[in-house]
């Protein structure tokens, strides 16, 4: 049985290596590839998809799984071995339901759609992206029907990105979160203390912002010997283990856009770099779920990066790196400014309170699309209407509205809800962290970032995919995920900042 198990792991490693080649091709497309190379790149990614599908659907996998399951010592395996076999079985059953030609065509179409989205966003012209989005949407539904024709497509896709989640479960989380968020926004708006954001919206040359990026990456222990930081249209993280690449985008009149983007993507990157070395190329040696992945990025960006304790330590360093630009800024005023609660058109630049409304808006649009209540052609108008109703914002340009995110061009319907789920997980983890490290804030104020990061590394990141996300949350915190910790965290933080 041990020999058969090792054969399975060898096949899985081969799949991982091929997938990582595809990741590099995707990174290159976003960062370095000339515009004219898109058709060639779609062929390359299509080939990678075909190769990986052939490996992942090899009947030998099914035979080995069957033989191991029927072995007399099957029940004596370790937790890690059982989890590896479960994950390989799950992936194999899913892969064998997908026709190879469909996998290739879906991959090539998504590559082309990403380029169409980039052009449409630059030109503020949804019509250039619409036919690609319509095709991607239909193929996403077809994908879901291949996986499980008995379940509504959107439910299949939600489970794809966060195993075990459904529209009903997300609604159970989002309903109290929406109500609490709207009330918190009202309190902040009417509060006696209002942040002066002119303190942060100052011209910061891009070379200085790049220095800040390098400094913060070093501070959060992202290993640059095994990683890169580059620039792309939409910030992202890709890669695994010893080659993890993150990107950001710079705005000269708003350093926070890149600064917190680097913190965010750095959180993703550290999660990938900190997977347990002994599980490398095994199913358990991968990330747990996209919601768990997001919990790391949102923790680094917000729970850590926007905290009073962090800036008590880092503000002097920040001023040193930026010269005279912020020399007149006082600590208390700066903290309020970087934590301003103010509606924003752009999700990735939204404050941590309004951010969840952005996600709920996207979740509801996706849900209605798959339910046939709305159509792709009406998305620009629907987006504008819902932004006005939910966030009180008038969207003037589609590039700031329906075209602002890259995700749909890549076919990732069902992905957006994991962002707010990541906030939920992060707050619940932080509550537990404060019990284990009761003087965490004093440590942080004195520049000890490692104590907090090591807690995350030990309790979450090194656990990889040993558990499904809800189970991991329960292992770490003693409870299954609940939005109440996030609601309480935001209420406490912003009542102190705004004085209500």
Residues recognised as catalytic: 265
Report the DSSP pairing between strands 237-240 and 243-248.
antiparallel
- Report CA-CA distances (Å) from 391 to 187, 276, 353, 358: 15, 41, 11, 8
Q: How far apart are CA 463 and CA 265, in angstroms?
A: 20
> Phi and psi of 229, rounded to 5°?
-130, 120
Q: d(Cα 284, Cα 295) in Å, to the nearest integer?
A: 18
Order of strands across the sheet that contains 227-231: 227-231, 243-248, 237-240
Helices and strands in the chain, H and E counts:
20, 3
Residue 131 contacts residue 409 (beta carbons within 8 Å): no
Alpha-carbon gap, residue 236 to 245, rounded angstroms: 8
| Long-range contacts formed by 361-366: CB under 8 A, 24+ apart | 361/386, 361/387, 361/390, 361/391, 362/405, 362/416, 362/417, 363/170, 363/174, 363/416, 363/417, 366/154, 366/413, 366/414, 366/416
**Token code pair at residue 155:** 């439910």
Local structure of 437: helix, strand or coil: coil
d(CA 110, CA 132): 8
The number of angstroms, rounded, from the C-alpha of 495 to the middle of its chain's C-alpha atoms is 28
Closest to 420 measured CA to CA, from 172, 206, 230, 87: 172
For 60, other C-beta atoms within 10 Å of its C-beta total 12
| Residues 249, 213 contacting (CB under 8 angstroms) | no
């Amino acid at each position: 049985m041990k020999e058969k198990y090792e054969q399975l792991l060898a096949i899985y490693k081969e799949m991982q290596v091929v997938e990582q080649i595809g990741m590099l091709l995707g990174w290159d497309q976003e960062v370095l590839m000339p515009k004219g190379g898109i058709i060639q790149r779609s062929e390359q990614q299509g080939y990678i998809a075909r190769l990986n599908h052939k490996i992942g659907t090899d009947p030998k996998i099914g035979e080995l799984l069957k033989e191991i399951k029927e072995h007399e010592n099957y029940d004596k395996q370790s937790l890690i071995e059982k989890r590896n076999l479960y994950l390989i079985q799950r992936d194999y059953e899913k892969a064998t339901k997908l026709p190879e030609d469909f996998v290739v065509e879906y991959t090539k179409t998504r590559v082309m759609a990403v380029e169409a989205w980039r052009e449409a966003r630059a030109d503020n012209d949804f019509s250039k992206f619409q036919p690609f989005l319509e095709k991607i949407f239909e193929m996403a539904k077809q994908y879901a029907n291949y996986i499980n024709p008995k379940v509504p497509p959107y439910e299949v896709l939600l489970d794809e990105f966060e195993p075990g989640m459904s529209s009903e479960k997300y609604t159970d989380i989002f309903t109290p979160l929406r109500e609490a968020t709207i009330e918190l926004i009202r309190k902040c708006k009417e509060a006696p203390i209002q942040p002066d954001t002119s303190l942060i919206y100052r011209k910061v040359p891009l070379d200085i912002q790049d220095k800040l990026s390098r400094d913060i990456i070093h501070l959060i222990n992202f290993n640059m010997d095994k990683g890169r930081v580059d620039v792309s249209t939409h910030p992202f993280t890709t890669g695994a283990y010893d080659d993890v690449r993150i990107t950001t985008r710079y705005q000269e009149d708003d350093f926070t856009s890149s600064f917190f983007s680097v913190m965010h993507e750095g959180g993703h990157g550290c999660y990938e770099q900190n997977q347990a070395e002994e599980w490398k190329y095994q199913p358990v040696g991968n990330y747990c779920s996209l919601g768990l992945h997001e919990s790391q990025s949102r923790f680094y960006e917000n729970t850590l990066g926007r905290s009073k304790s962090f800036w008590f330590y880092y503000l002097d360093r920040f001023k040193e790196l930026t010269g005279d630009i912020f020399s007149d800024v006082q600590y208390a005023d700066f903290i309020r400014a970087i934590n301003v609660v103010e509606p924003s058109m752009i999700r990735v630049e939204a404050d941590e309170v309004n951010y969840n409304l952005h996600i709920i808006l996207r979740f509801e649009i996706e849900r209605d699309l798959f339910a046939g209540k709305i159509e792709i052609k009406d998305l620009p108008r629907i987006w504008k209407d819902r932004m006005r109703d939910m966030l009180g914002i008038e969207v003037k340009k589609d590039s700031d509205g329906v075209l602002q995110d890259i995700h749909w061009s890549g076919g990732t319907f069902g992905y957006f809800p994991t962002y707010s789920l990541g906030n939920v997980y992060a707050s619940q983890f932080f509550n537990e962290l404060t019990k284990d490290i009761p003087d965490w804030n004093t440590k942080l104020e004195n520049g000890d970032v490692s104590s907090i990061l090591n807690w995350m590394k030990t309790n979450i990141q090194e656990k990889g995919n040993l558990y499904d996300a809800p189970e991991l949350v329960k292992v770490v915190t003693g409870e299954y995920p609940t939005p109440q910790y996030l609601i309480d965290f935001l209420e406490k933080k912003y009542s102190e900042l705004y004085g209500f």
